[in-house]
Amino acid sequence: MSVTYKALPKVNPQNPAAAPKYYAQVVTSGEITLRQLAKMISEVATVKTADTMAVLEGLLNVVPMVLADGKIVRLGDFGSFNLQVASDGVATPDELTRNQINKISVKFRAAKEFMIVINNIEFTKIK
């Protein structure tokens, strides 16, 4: 297996007149559905696809609720999820309210075992 990438030109926004520089961009080769993922997991585990699907559906329901409760979700050798926010700056702590929070995102932090696999990916350049 190999991940393909291409060279993507990008202009420096601080110097638009400068020649663009080229950066690597991954070219995806498709996507996989939750059901397909459950089938693949069931082929390497001792549970049926329906059981795997039920667990994944449960995970999809529970993880957002736990994050909304202000907790970090740690999934062992897979990694962890936590919430991050971006807000407008204010002059004093008392001025900071929910109204200044303008973006909420979920951060995934891959665990060490997960990254061992990722760091050994083969790459193939395409044109």
Pair of tokens at residue 104: 């909420």
Tokens of 7: 């060279």
Look at residue 116 in the predicted model and tell me its pLDDT: 96
- The predicted model gives 19-40 an average pLDDT of 94
Tell me: the pLDDT tens digits for 97-110?
999 999 999 999 99
User: How is the chain split into domains, by residue range?
Assistant: 72-110
| Residue 114: pLDDT over 90 | yes
pLDDT in tens, 47-98: 999 999 999 999 999 999 999 999 999 999 999 999 999 999 999 999 999 9
